[in-house]
Copies of this chain bind each other. A is one copy, B any other.
Amino acid sequence: MGAASFIAGDWGTSHLRLSLCDAAGHLLETRSGPGAAGVVGGRDGSRERAFEQAFASLVAHWEETYGELPAVLCGMVGSSIGWTQAPYVACPARPEQLVDACVTLRGGRLHIVPGLSCRNRLDAPDFMRGEETQILGALQLVPTLRNATRLLCLPGTHTKWVVLQDGVVREFLTAPTGELYAVLCEHSVLVRKPARAADPIDMHAFQQGLAQFGEFPRAQLLHRLFECRSRQLAGELEPGAADAFLSGLLIGSDVHGALRLLSDGTPTPVYLIGSSQLTPLYALALGSQGCESIEVDGAAASLAGLAHVHRCRSAEVALHG
């Protein structure tokens, strides 16, 4: 481990994770803070001021110890609910374009990574913010991603399917799979069991949901959802396992639709970038549809992406600064 060199931050809607890193991007220390939605403006009502103060107070201890440190942030911190609005870079987008379009604050010491936009395969506008940094990181962690056409999947509240061609982000597609799962678990009569991330998922019921989806993959999802309830009534599904069955149906649907739209001519495997709770479920769904997968840790990818941006921006300052 080297000396403290910069601060990397993934600042989402509901959570902030700050990492103190050495020059090579190795993690030295971490701190948690409020999500972008939880940063409340001060007496003068300025959002920028509120983010500035929140950030300054979180890094004060590190800066007292190590002096002024550069920082790179990604996520909703760069959105309309964030510190400042970073742009969306339009696809096809090269990694350098993301680095170049960073927004700079704190007298040039802080960079916020822009998001990505595209017209997706279903002729709709599409957006991401935060995942672009994980893609940058994956390109660092898995150099083979820089060649040929590759399909990436970043599962989550809003799952992103991404087509890379020779390291360029060609296009992507969003599926609110995690959000649909959560609202149905918490608010519908179909499941009647709140989703608790901490509970281990019932793998038998998850596989049952995957298998049922696979019986009629072209049926509309709407005509499968009532099964979560009717199979309980019929004694074919344990009431406590309906959430896992629903997860199998939803992830099966997500994977089937994305492979159908995006995998034409793309060689397997699919690169799964995300948490260790989610990527194994997607790996199972991909496997059930004859597709191999390679799992990449989402937090590591995010950190590698932020470190990459830091290195590129530092080099630029050294050249032109």
Contact = CB atoms under 8 A, between A and B. Distances in A.
A134 to B, nearest CB: 18
Nearest to A189: B179
Given A125-B234, A233-B127, A254 B220 contact: yes
Contacts of A48: none
A221 B222 contact: yes
Contacts of A219: 122, 257, 261
Interface string A229-240: 011011010000
Interface residues of A, number: 46
Nearest to A230: B125
A126 interface: yes
A176 B222 contact: yes
A88 to B, nearest CB: 9
A123 interface: yes
A234 B216 CA distance: 34
25 contacts: A122-B215, A124-B230, A125-B227, A125-B234, A125-B236, A127-B230, A127-B233, A158-B226, A173-B223, A175-B222, A175-B223, A175-B225, A175-B226, A176-B190, A176-B222, A179-B188, A179-B189, A180-B184, A180-B222, A183-B188, A219-B257, A219-B261, A220-B221, A223-B254, A223-B261
The 10 A-B residue pairs whose C-beta atoms are closest, nearest first, are: A220-B257, A125-B234, A174-B226, A124-B227, A175-B222, A221-B221, A183-B187, A125-B230, A183-B183, A220-B253
Interface of A: 122-127, 158, 173-177, 179-180, 183-184, 186-190, 212, 215-216, 218-227, 230-231, 233-234, 236, 250, 253-254, 256-258, 261
